């Protein structure tokens, strides 16, 4: 569960993806996500559209990869270890809190223009991490692993978002026990073999 979803070993591919992610990040400072085209991203990265499509299916895939890489950087910055399910839940929740706290406009009562896209990207990254963990520890359950991962990822994201929007909120480290207690029973549907 520690590999970044868009980690590529080939230095040329890694560099191209970094250029595209940096271009999108810079463009997001200037205009709304909906108004940014693939051509805008390619131009800002000094690449052509064909190169963009060699790496990403669309700008949403680029955003998800950008979010995933940032999320993994935050986890690494905390020195996260995924030794157990509880440890993974704790790390993921704290990572989501860190990510949302560093995302402009996420702590306001009114949604920002980036919020739905950012929400989808964060949930997709968390879902992928949880699904990877479940697949590493297969179980015998009538509930598909994908359903468990989706439910847990939305629960973690929702709890982190609620925490972020709470006035005079406590540190995320104080919330993690409560969230783990609430989310852990969902894993009860997944009993290791």
String of DSSP letters for 106-172: TTSSSPPTTHHHHHHHHHHHHHHHHHHHHHHS-B--SS-HHHHHHHHHHHHHHHHHHHHTSTTPPPH
Flag whether 84 is in a domain.
Answer: yes
| 87 and 81 Cβ atoms separated by less than 8 Å | yes
CB atoms within 10 A of CB 54: 11
Q: Are residues 39 and 80 in the same domain?
A: no
- Tell me which of 77 and 44 has the higher pLDDT: 44
Average pLDDT over residues 29-49: 92
Is 6 a domain residue? no
CATH number of the domain bearing residue 40: 1.10.10.60
Tally of structural domains, the chain: 2
Instruction: Tell me which of 9 and 179 has the higher pLDDT.
Output: 179
CA–CA separation, 47 and 56 (whole Å): 13
Range of the domain at 170: 64-187
pLDDT at 91 over 60: yes
Condensed to tens digits (0 to 9), the pLDDT of residues 152-161 reads: 999 999 999 9
CA angle 185, 93, 134 (to 5 degrees): 50
Report the CATH number at residue 142: 1.10.357
Q: Which pTM value belongs to this model?
A: 0.75
Q: Is 127 part of a structural domain of the chain? A: yes
Whether 181 and 138 map to the same domain: the answer is yes
171: Cα separation from own chain's centroid: 20
Q: For residues 44 and 116, state if they share a domain.
A: no
């Amino acid at each position: 569960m520690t590999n970044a979803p868009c980690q590529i070993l080939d230095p040329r591919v890694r560099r191209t993806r970094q250029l595209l992610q940096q271009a999108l990040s810079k463009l997001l400072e200037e205009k709304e996500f909906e108004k940014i085209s693939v051509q805008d991203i390619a131009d800002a990265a000094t690449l052509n559209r064909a190169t963009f499509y060699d790496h990403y299916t669309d700008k949403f895939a680029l955003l998800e990869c950008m979010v995933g890489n940032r999320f993994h950087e935050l986890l690494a910055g905390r020195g996260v270890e995924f030794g157990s399910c509880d440890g993974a839940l704790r790390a993921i929740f704290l990572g989501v809190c860190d990510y949302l706290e560093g995302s402009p406009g996420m702590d306001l009562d009114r949604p920002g223009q980036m919020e739905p896209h950012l929400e989808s990207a964060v949930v997709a990254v968390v879902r992928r991490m949880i699904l990877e963990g479940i697949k590493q520890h297969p179980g015998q359950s009538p509930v598909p692993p994908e359903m468990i991962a989706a439910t847990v990822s939305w629960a973690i994201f929702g709890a982190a978002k609620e925490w972020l929007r709470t006035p005079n909120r406590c540190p995320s480290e104080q919330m993690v026990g409560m969230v783990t207690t609430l989310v852990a029973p969902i894993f009860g549907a997944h009993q290791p073999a």
